[in-house]
Structure 1
Amino acid sequence: MLWYDLKYYPSQGSYLAIMTINEYFQLLRQKLWFISTATLVTGSLVFLVLSQKSPTYRAEVIVSIGGYIQSPNPTSLDIRAGVELAQTYAVLATTNEILDAATQEGHFPVNAEELHDLVEARVVPATSLLVISVTYTDPEWASEMANMIATQLIARSPTNLTPIQQAQVDLASSEIRELSLLVGTARDQLNQIEEELSHAADAQETEALRERQNVLITQITLASSTIAQYSNTIVSLQERTNSLTIVERATVPTSPSGFGRLPLSILGAIVGAIASGVFVLLSDYLSNTVRRPHEATALLEVPVIGVIPIKNLNRPIKHLDLIANSASAATESYRAVRAKLLFPYQGRTNPFLFVSHSENDGKSVMIAGLGIVIAQAGLRVLLIDANFHQPSLHTMFNLPAENGLGTLLAQELDLDEADRAELVASCVQVTPIANLSLLAAGPAPADSAGVFGSQVMARWLQFIETATKAHIILMDTSPLSSTSDAFVLAVGLQTPVVVIVRSGTTPYEALIDLRAQIKHFGITLAGIVLINR
């Protein structure tokens, strides 16, 4: 199944099918040299750039926000507060105050501004863990910088106790030590009483020991309770929500960070290939020129009778030598045009008028090549150069251009038949190709369009057909973009017109305008020939 890309043309009031999926792939194959070059250049540039850069190393330190991690039963409020505070500390870790303090304390080889470009702080999602990473060319300095930044961040946070809080902790610790000694002594005494109870025989002695035992148990219970209270006080002071603790210090990295030069070069080459492919497709899509046969057919509503490959229009003689002396693919293309063009007109001598939008569309070269393959089929062919603005057919056969069509049009029509035949014979030149003759442009008339629109041109053309006994006449004309000669000739002679379209050069608008003119003047189109570059 073929899928079409549609483009809208307001002057036509309709959509035009531009490309099929298959043609997209053909286009990419045609531009494979460009894509391959872009791929190679991009990959090489990435490799060269990376080769000039020193490898970098990444060191990371992990900081925990809040003391709930050390608590056996943290509350949801503590956890939520720690997660939210972590975002704030991620910003504070890269501030100038922290970085400047770290730079001065650590004596780094970079200043605070340069360090800012090397450091990154991020929070592990859904946790209160802050990761501070430093990427630098020296692995040891990278780890030192990361650890120092974490240290300076902690030093400037409420993590450390105030003097009053520290005094409370010291007092509670002292009381805990004294109470612990008291509990220890009481336990020793309690053990001794239990041993004496096991040997006591007197009831009165036993009762006295029981009273002492109860007193010691009460003392131990009260002391343990007091110790627990003091311990809770210490924990509440030390395990606060807004406190920072280094969970894992940064170590010296042993391998460079990121991808190596080769993987990045391959990735760069892939990106270059994709970008160049997109560029080729996008430039083709945005182009306003005809590139494929079905585009020309849709615009002019007549079939493309052939596609002729002409690689270099600046060397027409070499192209024509190839057509005349070999069985190349280009020669077969001309033969296909010959068959489709002449078949509807078998048995009739018929001039064909060839028109194109601009001078560089390859029309004259194509006419010469078509004349050669028709002549090789045994038909007498006459080429007429009616392009008085830039005549070129004579140069393709190395013939002079002093006399030609302009010479005939300058003569009066009342010449007798013998004089006219002699004049035609003096202007028509034989080419090196058998059965192929040329009537060059000759001297240009002052008003070529006026002459072409008069009966002079039509009557001379009739006499030329008779005098030369040509089976086929192929007429070259001036480009449509510069003069009206081609339109005047087509209307005046009422001869079939072949439109030459050069792929990638002829604009859509030119064919849309041509289609309107053809319909307006009732011109007969014999077909379209697409010139591929």
Structure 2
Amino acid sequence: MNLKFLDYFSPIFRWWWLLIVCALVAGGVGYALVNPLPPVYQSGITLLVGNALDTPNPSSLEVEIPRRLTDAYAAMALREPVRDGVKKALGLDELPKYTAYTIPGSTMVRIEVTDTNPRRAQAVATELGRQLMAQSPGGTTRDSETQAFLEEQLHKIADAISETEQDIAAKQEEMATAEGASAILSLQADLDALNNKLATLQENYARLLASSQSNAINTLRVVEEATLPTRPIGPNKVLDVAAATLGGLILATLGAYGIEYLDDRLKTETHIQHLVHYSLTGYIPTIYTQENPVTYLRKRPRSPAADAFRSIRNALGYLADAPYRTLLVSSAAAGEGKSTVAAGLAISLAQAGYRVILVDADLRAPSLHTMLGLPQKPGLSDVLQGKIPLAESIIMLENLGIDLLTSGDIPDQSTELLASRAMQTTMAQLGQSYDVVVLDGPPFAVPDAVVLARRVEGMLWVIRVGYSRRTAVKYMQEQIEQTLVNVLGVVINCGRGPRAHYYQVYGYHGYYQDGNGRERRKPAFRRLVENLRRTK
């Protein structure tokens, strides 16, 4: 379960260097862009629409109308008349960036100015408030003079109302003591005239009061002055660089998963197990050396790679008698290590006491002669065509304990040659002379592999981690199922199975044996390089 869970993060582990490089590049670019930027300051002014806050019991009309007017004033603050007024008053060609908005749930307008110069930000914010108030009904000088006149008239009318009310009260007292009809009628006429005068004065007072600033709804005044900012609001260089680095890391991660999605190579053992329907016979660890694999196995019989071939030999049942006399080693495509597995298995079988012959049956792209440093011909194709006897084409490799039959000259019709009676006769002759015949066959991308698979008792399927293609493996599996090939198991090349963990735990990877059989510690730098390679 843990392995499957970690497989979801395999693109990150595989492309860790890309993630680091992209994060560093993005962070460096972000720093280069942000570092030259000057600090930015902000200053603001708040204006109140109407006088609802000054009234103990404001009506809904005194609250709702100013609330609607705030949107209009916020929009007006961004218009050219206000902007031009500020430029003219401060002598500026261009205004710094500013915003005007209504404070939610209130009758206030907020204007905020951002600039690299804190004093200029304060001055522009203050002047914007003045220019906006100048656009309001009570904002001009002429309106201020009118307002003063109205206030004076209100005081006069208020005094007149008070005098009239006193006169009315006096007339009412006289009527109470008056005698005679003529006197009463005269007083009543005077009282009616005073009442009419009082009504007129009250009406005039109400009209003037409605026109005065103190009772107006559409007014503007400053409730919060613009202050001089002392701390910049940006840019936050640390946060910007961190955001750029994180963005680069996220993009690199997405890119890594995108690459993995488009790349159909089987990159882990778990991917192979989910795709292939056959049991795993063994794992061949990666040999981090430029040395010939066969030479490596001969010189290091106690290496993890040599033990891996012993495990495959035991898994196939080669403990006493040979359960399979003829074996084919093949793969889905070229380059997956089938020739190395065939040679390593043949050497391991020979070390167990079996008489083994290794046959290069890949008549299209043979490689065993190159691996072992031997001539390519005469070989199998020459025997099948009757150019040379079988016995004369076999090469004895006493240092490896096996015999070898190379491919010979590459024929024009390899499929027909492998399907011929001559091939059947040759296999019978080899089976009589040897305990095990190991065929290094062609990949299943060509029809030669199917022909050979029908001439052997079993086949080993080699799949290379990080190299084999999903489509090629699927195609080979379909071919195997259609032709009823007896697949003995799957060998994962360059894999890290349970045995690899065993060697790590007990420090096996850190040592190798010299010619005298003594263990010698690998150089630290070499161990570091090998560990880094294993993480890819």
For residues 64 and 318 of structure 1, the distance between their equivalents in structure 2, rounded to whole angstroms, comes to 88
Alignment of 1:169-188 (within 5 A): 169-176=147-154, 178=156
Q: Is residue 4 of structure 2 the alignment partner of residue 20 of structure 1?
A: yes
Report the secondary structure of 2:35's partner residue.
Answer: helix
Report the secondary structure of 1:478's partner residue.
Answer: coil
Residue from 428, 453, 465 that aligns with 1:490 = 453
Q: Deviations over 1:201-236 (max 9, x none)?
A: xxxxxxxxxxxxxxxxxxxx99x9899858843556
Residue from 33, 38, 53 that aligns with 1:49 = 33
Q: Deviations over 1:89-130 (max 9, x none)?
A: 444444455445544543446x46xx5xx3334433323333
Q: Deviations over 1:148-180 (max 9, x none)?
A: 4444444445452695x6565233211345578
Contact residue 317 and residue 397 of structure 1 kept, 8 A: no
Alignment of 1:60-79 (within 5 A): 60-79=44-63
The corresponding residue for 1:240 is 217
Number of equivalent positions: 462
- Aligned-residue Cα RMSD (Å) equals 4.1
The corresponding residue for 2:524 is none
Q: Is residue 487 of structure 2 the alignment partner of residue 501 of structure 1?
A: no
For residues 134 and 327 of structure 2, the distance between their equivalents in structure 1, rounded to whole angstroms, comes to 95
Alignment of 1:314-353 (within 5 A): 317=291, 323-326=297-300, 327=302, 329-343=304-318, 346-348=321-323, 350-353=325-328
Q: Is residue 282 of structure 2 the alignment partner of residue 306 of structure 1?
A: yes
Unaligned segments of structure 2, at least 5 residues = 164-197, 495-535
For residues 74 and 346 of structure 2, the distance between their equivalents in structure 1, rounded to whole angstroms, comes to 81
Moved over 6 A (4+): 179-185, 224-228
Report the secondary structure of 2:439's partner residue.
Answer: strand
Residue from 107, 130, 137 that aligns with 2:116 = 137
Alignment of 1:115-194 (within 5 A): 115=96, 118-158=97-137, 160=139, 169-176=147-154, 178=156
Q: 1:236 to 1:92 in 2, by over 3 A?
A: closer
The corresponding residue for 2:231 is 255
Report the secondary structure of 1:317's partner residue.
Answer: coil
Contact residue 430 and residue 437 of structure 2 kept, 8 A: no
Report the secondary structure of 2:109's partner residue.
Answer: strand
The corresponding residue for 1:478 is 442
The corresponding residue for 2:172 is none
Report the secondary structure of 1:134's partner residue.
Answer: strand
Contact residue 327 and residue 456 of structure 2 kept, 8 A: no
For residues 323 and 142 of structure 1, the distance between their equivalents in structure 2, rounded to whole angstroms, comes to 79
Q: Deviations over 1:269-316 (max 9, x none)?
A: 34444444454445545654433434434433111223334377xx76
Deviation at 1:454, TM superposition (A): 1.6
Report the secondary structure of 2:357's partner residue.
Answer: strand
Report the secondary structure of 1:384's partner residue.
Answer: strand
Deviation at 1:436, TM superposition (A): 4.0
TM-score (norm. length: structure 1): 0.72
Deviation at 1:443, TM superposition (A): 1.0
Report the secondary structure of 1:20's partner residue.
Answer: helix
Q: Is residue 490 of structure 2 the alignment partner of residue 528 of structure 1?
A: yes
2:439 is matched by which residue type in structure 1? M
Q: 1:246 to 1:20 in 2, by over 3 A?
A: farther
Contact residue 359 and residue 440 of structure 2 kept, 8 A: yes
Contact residue 172 and residue 233 of structure 1 kept, 8 A: no
For residues 462 and 107 of structure 1, the distance between their equivalents in structure 2, rounded to whole angstroms, comes to 107
Alignment of 1:407-486 (within 5 A): 407-411=382-386, 419-421=389-391, 423-425=392-394, 428=395, 430=397, 434-467=400-433, 469=434, 471-481=435-445, 483-486=446-449
Q: Deviations over 1:478-509 (max 9, x none)?
A: 3333x222122213x14322222233443333
Q: What percent identity do the matched residue pairs reach? A: 23
Q: Is residue 375 of structure 2 the alignment partner of residue 400 of structure 1?
A: yes
Alignment of 1:366-405 (within 5 A): 366-405=341-380
For residues 43 and 487 of structure 1, the distance between their equivalents in structure 2, rounded to whole angstroms, comes to 55
Deviation at 1:451, TM superposition (A): 0.8
Report the secondary structure of 2:375's partner residue.
Answer: coil
Deviates more, 1:96-105 or 1:48-57: 96-105
Q: Deviations over 1:340-394 (max 9, x none)?
A: 2345995245332222232233333444444455555554543322223332222
Q: 1:123 to 1:162 in 2, by over 3 A?
A: same
1:402 is matched by which residue type in structure 2? K
Report the secondary structure of 2:438's partner residue.
Answer: strand
For residues 258 and 348 of structure 1, the distance between their equivalents in structure 2, rounded to whole angstroms, comes to 78
For residues 472 and 34 of structure 2, the distance between their equivalents in structure 1, rounded to whole angstroms, comes to 50
TM-score (norm. length: structure 2): 0.71
2:397 is matched by which residue type in structure 1? V
Contact residue 52 and residue 63 of structure 2 kept, 8 A: yes
1:488 is matched by which residue type in structure 2? V
Report the secondary structure of 1:52's partner residue.
Answer: coil
Deviation at 1:456, TM superposition (A): 1.8
1:441 is matched by which residue type in structure 2? S
For residues 77 and 343 of structure 1, the distance between their equivalents in structure 2, rounded to whole angstroms, comes to 101
The corresponding residue for 1:209 is none
1:233 is matched by which residue type in structure 2? A
Deviation at 1:462, TM superposition (A): 2.9
For residues 353 and 370 of structure 1, the distance between their equivalents in structure 2, rounded to whole angstroms, comes to 11
Q: 1:229 to 1:526 in 2, by over 3 A?
A: same
Deviation at 1:444, TM superposition (A): 0.4
For residues 227 and 328 of structure 1, the distance between their equivalents in structure 2, rounded to whole angstroms, comes to 115
Contact residue 387 and residue 478 of structure 1 kept, 8 A: yes
Contact residue 39 and residue 235 of structure 2 kept, 8 A: no
The corresponding residue for 2:269 is 293
1:171 is matched by which residue type in structure 2? F
For residues 134 and 337 of structure 2, the distance between their equivalents in structure 1, rounded to whole angstroms, comes to 81
Deviation at 1:448, TM superposition (A): 0.5
